[in-house]
Amino acid sequence: MVAHFLRLKLTLLGNTLRRSVWQTVGLCFALLYALFVVGSLVIGAIVGGGMNPTVTGHVITLAGAVAVVCWWVVPVFVFGVDQTLDPQRFTTFAIPHRTLVAGLAVAGVVSVPGLATALAAGGSAFAWWREPWLVPVALLGAILGLASCVVGSRAVTTVLAPLLESRRYREVVAVVAIIPLVLIGPAIGWASEEIGAVSRETTDDGVTVSTDGSLLAAVVARFGELVAWTPFGAPWSLAAAVHDGAWGAAASRFAIAVGTIAVLWLIWSRSLAKALVTPPVGGGRGARSKGLGWFGRFPATPVGAVAARCTTYWIRDPRYAAGISIIFLMPVILWLPARSSGNLDVLLLAGPVVAWVLAFGVSNDVGYDYTAFALHVATGTSGRADRWGRALPVLVFGTAVVVLVAVLTLALSGRWDLAAPLLGICLGTLGLALGVSSVASAALVYPVPKPGESPLKSPQGAAMATMLAQTLAMLITVLLALPLVVLGIWAFASGSLLVGWVTLVVGLVEGALLLVLGIRMGARTFDRRAPELLQQVQSFP
């Protein structure tokens, strides 16, 4: 039965590739890249293992722990979990629950990141080639580590899915994401104290830090020892413990690793069983809204109607929440390194980044509409109305937000002398990125989670198209923003007021010009190929 799942996954993958040459090319590049990374990691491990097995063991533990954390956390915030084998699709097949979970787990390894992790984990076991009897122990650890990666990521996403599908997604993500970020501050403080302690110890031993890097080794050893006792690092440190002859430690780490997997398996299995009988519903039941909402506030024109609809979606559609949550997160993310380094100027980056993220949020707006876009085609909505309508809410609310963030960061850093260039860069970025987005969303659409689907689902086989389209749009944005960035850096470095004011003027003029130009170009493309756009979104998997 598990073999059936494997074959199904491979068949699905093969069929996707048969449909599109570009996807095949994309997969090949992804595989090559993964092979390169894995290859260098394994070679590094083997060489390191030959030179200093103890340190290498600690490094493997740390790297493995990072991999596990990434597997668990990244799908929640960034990519979503690969839903090629969506458990919902198996509900009608009366598959024994245990078989279903096992099948999904094994199939989860069959993906580029899964295979890469498996290869890297397996390869790292050969770091112990000087003592070959340790290799099987390390391999066992690698298998346990891989299992906790895959099972953990499934468990986390399955448990969180109902939360993230709900309309409260926005708040939940903001809160959940802030917790680890808030912890980074104390963690950095604690880590630097530890490093300080280690360096004092090493210096007491009379070792000079700069010559043989033993400070680094000592730091790695201290953290490696610690992480080895966590569920993240335990499986990877089995061989190291056996190598040191610490049989007790090895046994307890084994127990930690197996226990973690068992608990995760249980959590996943339980929440999957629950998810299968409570299919996702579109948000809370029977929610109501009074009156026309934004439709009553925007002018009664096609442009106003599209703007009202987009505003409503920014607020009500969890898929746009990522863009909004970044507004709250950005200052926090920048605040911590800024505080620990004592240089608050870093905070000033928040404004331009927020501007860019907001404007980039509409770069695949037609993809987000999915087939509801048919209404625009059926009503013969003009490209002008469509483009302006989508851009206006971002322009209006985005300007307010960006100015607010800019003022806030200026106040926190006390660099009011940089107000003019910062505002120029922020507003210029907003305008020009919005212009690029207006062209991009009429020219390149790519699959995204459909309306009402979990923002955690990444559509099957879409990663490459998404990446290509986003990279292209990003490159163009960066190129267009280059003059502004250069001026801004000049203003910052020279502290010249004149350059600052020039930056402001250039930012406003360039932003406005490129916005209008982008919308014109986007509108022309839209008028020419609206039916083709509709056909494209209809063909999304």
Partner 1 sequence: MTHQTGPEGGTPAAPAPATPSDTMAPAPHATPPDLGAALSLRGLWKRFGDKVAVRALDLDVPVGSFYGLVGPNGAGKTTTLSMATGLLRPDGGTVHVRGTDLWAHPDAAKATLGILPDGVRLFDRLTGLQLVTYAGLLRGMDRDTVAERAHSLLVAMDLAADAHTYVVDYSAGMTKKIALASAMIHAPRTLVLDEPFEAVDPVSAANIRDILADYVAGGGTVVVSSHVMDLVQRMCDHVAIVGAGQVLAAGTVDEVRGDQTLEDRFVDLVGGRTRAEGLEWLRTS
- The contact set with partner 1 (CB under 8 A) reads 282-283, 285-293, 295, 300-302, 304-306, 308-309, 312-313, 316-317, 369-372, 374-382, 385, 450-452, 531-532, 534-535, 538
Q: What's CA 290's distance to the chain center, in Å?
A: 36
Burial class (CB in 10 A: 0-12, 13-18, 19+), 282: exposed
Tokens of 340: 């620990």
Compare residues 223 and 314 and give the one whose CB is closer to partner 1.
314
Nearest to partner 1 of 96, 291 (CB atom) = 291
Work out how close the CB of 364 gets to partner 1 at its nearest, in angstroms, rounded to a whole number.
16
Strands 81-82, 457-458: pairing is parallel
Of the pair 192, 538, the CB lying nearest partner 1 is at 538
Estimate the crossing angle of helix 214-227 against helix 169-204, to 10 degrees.
Answer: 130
| C-beta atoms surrounding 205 within 10 Å | 9
Nearest-angstrom CA–CA distance, 469 and 355: 20
168 versus 339: smaller Cβ distance to partner 1: 168
Contact predicate 421/378, CB 8 Å: no
Residue closer to partner 1 by CB (options 393, 428) is 393
Q: 33, 5, 196: which is closest to 101 by C-alpha?
A: 5
| In the complex, least distance from residue 344 CB atom to partner 1, rounded to whole angstroms | 40
| Residues contacting residue 320 through CB under 8 Å, at least 6 positions apart | 313, 314, 361, 368
Q: Where are the alpha helices (DSSP H) in 166-229?
A: 169-204, 209-212, 214-227
Minimum CB distance to partner 1 smaller for 391 or for 480: 391
- In this structure, the number of other CB atoms found within 10 A of the CB of residue 79 comes to 14
**In terms of CB distance, is 284 or 342 closer to partner 1?**
284
Phi-psi region for residue 159, left (φ > 0), alpha (ψ -120 to 50) or beta? alpha
Q: Which residues pair with 457 in a beta bridge?
A: 81
| Least CB distance to partner 1 at residue 34 (A) | 31
Task: Give the nearer residue to partner 1 in terms of CB position, either 145 or 459.
Answer: 459
CB of 539 to partner 1, least distance (A): 9
Smallest distance from the beta carbon of 14 to partner 1, in angstroms? Answer: 17
Residue 512 has a CB neighbour count (10 Å cut-off) of 15
Least Å distance, CB 379 to partner 1, is 4
Question: How near is the Cβ of 534 to partner 1 at its closest, in Å?
Answer: 6
Q: Which is nearer to partner 1, 353 or 530 (CB)?
A: 530
Closer to partner 1 by Cβ: residue 133 or 288? 288
Distance from C-alpha of 175 to C-alpha of 178, rounded to nearest angstrom: 5
Q: How far is the CB of 380 from partner 1 (least distance, A)?
A: 4
CB closer to partner 1 out of 60 and 534: 534
Q: Give min distance, CB of 529 to partner 1, in A.
A: 9
Residue 294 CB, shortest distance to partner 1, in Å, is 8
CB of 313 to partner 1, least distance (A): 6
Dig out the tokens for 35 from the structure.
Answer: 């092979």
Q: Amino acid identity, residue 462?
A: A
Query: Using CA atoms, how far apart are residues 503 and 501, in angstroms rounded to an integer?
Result: 5
Check residue 33 and give left, alpha or beta (phi > 0: left; psi -120 to 50: alpha): alpha
Long-range contacts of 140-143 (CB under 8 A, 24+ apart): 140/238, 141/235, 141/236, 141/237, 141/238, 141/239, 141/257, 142/235, 142/236
